[in-house]
């Protein structure tokens, strides 16, 4: 199997179009310690011919252009993208579907919640049913997403999409009913990739699920829970946003420290996260804990 990080940043991207936080300013000034990143997506292939794209980022057109493996190859109309799977209904995971119009066949997979919300929004009919086959995937039931790639999804703690939030008091921030899913991609060669770009907490069940993977791409939205407040760009905590932090006793570095995984890579990294800055104390802590900070174009070959 082979995987390419198409986008490593959280919703808004890095730098965000309207942000002058300390980290965004570094990116806008071209500081060599940081790399700009597009909104989170991962492409996976078994044969190098047909690719499964996990999440349709608003930046998907730019991501395809930057990735020769995803360029059209033959005939007049063509795409190596054979399937797209959605892990949640947030804008950064679904808006790229609107770019994938133009009568191109591919398979579209997602959990109940996200597929229902797509069906309820007529603008997504630009993905013509005659070409795009939509399937609702059941958590826990493996299916062949593409030749050589067997996918199984599982619910992880999270909340409904930001744009669907209603009464704040009633918001369930740790819902495990399928609003947010993790994706296990198993190659015919036995290798396993786990993709969990959004996650509110690492439960024992999730840790068990990730154990034994060759590589885990995991929610790296925030370094610390109060990051947006401290940076002065928002009032929400990570907890309120449905994202676990990297650091702290409840953070993902601690929670996954003893889970046997060959390689751990942070993706869906918010533009405020100081771990984006190479040489920063936070980046050092991440690296010392055995994690990589994902970046656009990062390629992984599992053999």
List residues binding Mn ion (CB under 5 A): 11, 90, 92
Q: Minimum CB separation from ligand MLT for residue 93, in Å?
A: 7
User: Which of ligand MLT, Mn ion, Zn ion, none does residue 241 bind to, with CB < 5 to 8 Å depending on kind?
Assistant: ligand MLT
Classify burial at 215, counting beta carbons within 10 Å of its beta carbon; exposed 0-12, middle 13-18, buried 19 or more.
buried
Q: Minimum CB separation from ligand MLT for residue 10, in Å?
A: 6
Pattern of binders to ligand MLT over 161-180, x per CB under 6 A? -x------------------
- Asked if residue 39 binds Zn ion (CB under 5 A), the reply is no
Q: Is 143 helix (H, G, I), strand (E, B) or coil?
A: strand
User: Which of Mn ion, ligand MLT, Zn ion, none does residue 158 bind to, with CB < 5 to 8 Å depending on kind?
Assistant: none
Which of the residues 259 through 278 are near Zn ion (CB under 5 A)? 271
φ and ψ at residue 72, rounded to 5 degrees: -60, 145
Q: Minimum CB separation from ligand MLT for residue 88, in Å?
A: 7
Reported for 18-25, long-range contacts at CB under 8 A and 24+ positions apart, including other chains, are: 19/233, 19/271, 21/231, 21/232, 21/233, 21/271, 21/272, 22/231, 22/274, 23/231, 23/271, 23/272, 23/273, 23/274, 23/276, 23/277, 24/271, 24/272
- Asked if residue 45 binds Zn ion (CB under 5 A), the reply is no
User: Which of ligand MLT, Zn ion, Mn ion, none does residue 176 bind to, with CB < 5 to 8 Å depending on kind?
Assistant: none
Identify the residue among 19, 85, 87, 90 touching ligand MLT (CB under 6 A).
Answer: 90
User: How many of the chain's residues bind ligand MLT (CB under 6 A)?
Assistant: 9
Torsion of CA 280, 93, 142, 218, to 10 degrees: 10
Q: Minimum CB separation from Zn ion for residue 58, in Å?
A: 17
Stretch that binds ligand MLT, among 48-56, 85-93, 111-119, 292-300 (CB under 6 A): 85-93
Among 200, 197, 209, residue whose Cα is nearest residue 94: 197
Residues 145 and 109: their CA atoms lie apart, in Å, by 8
Among 243, 288, 249, residue whose Cα is nearest residue 267: 243
**For residue 15, is the peptide bond before it cis, meaning its omega torsion is within 30 degrees of 0?**
yes
Q: Is 73 helix (H, G, I), strand (E, B) or coil?
A: coil
User: Which of Mn ion, ligand MLT, Zn ion, none does residue 214 bind to, with CB < 5 to 8 Å depending on kind?
Assistant: none
- Asked if residue 91 binds ligand MLT (CB under 6 A), the reply is yes
Which of the residues 196 through 215 are near ligand MLT (CB under 6 A)? 198
Which helix (DSSP H) or strand (DSSP E) does residue 62 occupy?
Answer: helix 60-65
Stretch that binds ligand MLT, among 5-13, 14-22, 131-139, 249-257 (CB under 6 A): 5-13
Contact footprint for ligand MLT (CB under 6 A): 10-12, 90-92, 162, 198, 241
């Amino acid at each position: 199997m082979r995987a390419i990080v198409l986008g490593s940043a959280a919703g808004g991207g890095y730098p965000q179009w309207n942000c002058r936080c300390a980290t965004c300013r570094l990116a806008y000034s071209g500081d060599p310690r940081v790399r700009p990143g597009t909104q989170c997506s991962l492409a996976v292939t078994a044969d190098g011919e047909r690719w499964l794209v996990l999440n349709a980022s608003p930046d998907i057109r730019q991501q395809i252009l930057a990735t020769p493996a995803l360029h059209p190859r033959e005939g007049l109309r063509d795409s190596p993208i054979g399937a797209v799977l959605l892990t949640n209904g947030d804008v950064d995971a679904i808006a790229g579907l609107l770019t994938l119009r133009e009568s191109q066949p591919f398979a579209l997979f997602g959990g109940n919640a996200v597929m229902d919300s797509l069906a309820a929004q007529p603008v997504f009919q630009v993905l013509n049913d005659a070409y795009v086959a939509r399937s609702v995937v059941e958590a826990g039931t493996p299916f062949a997403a593409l030749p050589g790639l067997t996918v199984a999804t599982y619910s992880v703690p999270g909340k409904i999409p930001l744009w669907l939030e209603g009464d704040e008091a009633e918001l369930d921030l740790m819902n495990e009913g399928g609003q947010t899913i993790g994706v296990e991609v198993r190659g015919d060669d036995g290798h396993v990739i786990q993709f969990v770009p959004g996650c509110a907490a690492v439960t024992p069940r999730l840790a068990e699920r990730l154990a034994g993977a060759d590589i885990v791409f995991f929610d790296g939205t925030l370094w610390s829970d109060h990051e947006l407040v401290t940076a002065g760009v928002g009032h929400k905590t990570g907890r309120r946003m449905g994202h676990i932090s990297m650091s702290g006793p409840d953070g993902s570095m601690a929670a996954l420290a003893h889970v046997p995984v060959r390689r751990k890579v942070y993706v869906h990294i918010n533009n405020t996260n100081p771990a984006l800055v190479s040489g920063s104390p936070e980046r050092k802590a991440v690296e010392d804990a055995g994690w990589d900070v994902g970046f656009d174009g990062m390629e992984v070959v599992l053999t």
